[in-house]
């Protein structure tokens, strides 16, 4: 991609929750060998929202540093991707727009397709900037992953939001053409409107993910994409971090390449560090991997990064990005590490109470206790309306 035509990620910031449940605590409660979590799925802990935190508060917390650095004068579109929406009609991004004090001359929409939604948002943003290079688009991925207590998915839960400013002449990553896309109607993971927790067929989900990797890569190569050996690293969707390794190994075998364990570790290792501590953040997962890669890896200037975004049901996309010279001056490494380190460790009883909490549906006044030390909080429900405020 020529420098003149470059459009991509100009800034990136993420936020997570007030609380953390370690997998050591979970293992002690369930009588499970902790190695099943640490080694088997590659997870160390999971972010748990406080009672006054949700996808809106995380999204606003992730986006606020971007607005503080760049202002909002060029932002005419906000796209929030989530599969844990707080309303069936109103976009969660409108609450975020209000909390951040963005201009009224802004379009705000919400996108949904399981964990893939943020990649759709990113590609839509690139298209908008192509149309008008003076504009920037704020893309936010925010999710809370919840499964039934005692279910196989419980250990993969997590929560985070990633905000990305997309524009011309980006400071971090140029998004390349082409993209490879794939869709198949599969019931591997879904959450009906009447349920607060997702349903998942674990083996079917892994099979569907791997099928989507093949399909997206096939289309990518048919569109004239790069060869596997041209990439320095790969950012995969991580429902659990070991899934990224499984997917990459599958891709290499599919391409007829030797799946050398050392090479796989070099291609993926830096991308899994944040996800291992945060857990599955659904739409934010792939881009939390990018944040970790940029923050942790040696100089990536000019290097190609592969992105494989997968959303159950299912839709996948493979595309490439190139890291921009001087990117390190624009990173938020200390803030990202602090966001993970600041979480308060909780015991299983507290986690269980937060997990099982739900609001009455009577339209009454239901204030929420102050818990979060983050910049924004959900104050409560009043007349079926969610009330948000700066902390």
Is 2 part of any domain?
no
Q: How confident is the model at residue 4 (pLDDT cuts 50, 70, 90)?
A: low
* Tokens coding 44: 């160390």
Q: Which of 247, 250, 342 is nearest to 286 (CA)?
A: 247
351-387 pLDDT, tens per residue? 999 999 999 999 999 999 999 999 999 999 999 999 9
Per residue in 37-56, pLDDT (tens digit) is 999 999 999 999 999 999 99
Q: Does any domain span residue 305?
A: yes
Task: Please say if the pLDDT value at position 168 is more than 80.
Answer: yes
> 260 pLDDT band (50/70/90 cuts)?
confident
Residue 334 lies in a domain: yes
Residue 98 within any structural domain of the chain: yes
Containing domain of residue 242, as a range? Answer: 7-390
Number of domains in the chain: 1
Asked, for residue 188, whether it belongs to a domain, the answer is yes
Cβ-in-10-Å burial (0-12, 13-18, 19+) of 23 comes to buried
User: Each residue of 120-139: pLDDT tens digit?
Assistant: 999 999 999 999 999 999 99
pLDDT at 259: 79
- Asked if residue 1 has pLDDT above 80, the reply is no
> Domain for residue 172, yes or no?
yes
Q: What is the mean pLDDT of the chain?
A: 96
Check: pTM over 0.95? Answer yes or no. yes
Query: pLDDT (tens digit, 9 = 90+) per residue, 307-322?
Result: 999 999 999 999 999 9
What percent of the chain has pLDDT above 70? 99
Residue 155 lies in a domain: yes
- What per-residue confidence (pLDDT) applies to 2? 41
Residue with tokens 């990305």: 164
- Catalytic residue numbers, as ranges: 83, 115, 237
Considering the domain boundaries, does residue 145 fall inside one?
A: yes
Give the closest residue to 217 by CA, choosing from 326, 118, 335, 317: 317
What CATH number is given to the structural domain containing 309? 3.40.47.10
């Amino acid at each position: 991609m020529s420098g003149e035509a470059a459009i991509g990620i100009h800034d990136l910031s993420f936020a997570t929750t007030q609380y953390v449940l370690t997998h050591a605590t979970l293992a002690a409660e369930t009588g499970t060998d902790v190695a099943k979590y640490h080694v088997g799925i590659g997870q160390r802990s999971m972010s748990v929202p406080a009672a006054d935190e949700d996808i809106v508060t995380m999204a606003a917390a992730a986006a606020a540093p971007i607005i503080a650095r760049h202002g909002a004068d060029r932002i005419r579109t906000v796209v929030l991707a989530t599969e844990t929406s707080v309303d069936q009609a109103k976009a969660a991004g409108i609450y975020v727009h209000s909390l951040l004090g963005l201009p009224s001359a802004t379009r705000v929409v919400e996108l949904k397709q399981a964990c893939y939604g943020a990649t759709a948002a990113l590609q839509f943003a690139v298209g908008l900037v192509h149309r008008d290079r003076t504009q920037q688009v704020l893309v936010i991925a925010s999710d809370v992953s919840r499964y039934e207590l005692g279910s196989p998915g419980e250990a993969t839960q997590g929560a985070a939001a990633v905000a990305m400013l997309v524009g011309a002449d980006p400071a971090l990553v140029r998004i390349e053409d082409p993209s490879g896309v794939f869709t198949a109607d599969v019931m591997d993971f879904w959450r009906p409107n009447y349920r607060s927790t997702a349903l998942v067929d674990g083996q079917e989900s892994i099979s569907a993910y791997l099928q989507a990797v093949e399909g997206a890569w096939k289309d990518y190569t048919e569109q004239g994409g790069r060869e596997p050996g041209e990439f320095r690293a790969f950012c995969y969707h991580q429902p659990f971090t070991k899934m990224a390794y499984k997917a990459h190994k599958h891709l290499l075998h599919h391409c007829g390449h030797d799946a050398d364990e050392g090479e796989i570790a070099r291609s993926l290792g830096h991308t899994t560090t944040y996800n291992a501590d945060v857990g599955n953040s659904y739409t934010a997962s792939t881009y939390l991997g990018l944040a970790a890669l940029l923050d942790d890896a040696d100089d990536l200037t000019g290097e190609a990064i592969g992105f494989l975004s997968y959303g159950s049901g299912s839709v996948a996309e493979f595309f490439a990005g190139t890291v921009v010279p001087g990117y390190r001056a624009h990173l938020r490494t200390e803030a990202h590490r602090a966001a993970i380190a600041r979480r308060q460790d909780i015991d299983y009883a507290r986690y269980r109470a937060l997990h099982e909490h739900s609001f009455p549906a009577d339209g009454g006044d239901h204030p929420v206790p102050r818990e979060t030390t983050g910049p924004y909080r959900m104050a409560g429900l009043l007349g079926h309306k969610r009330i948000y405020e700066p902390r």
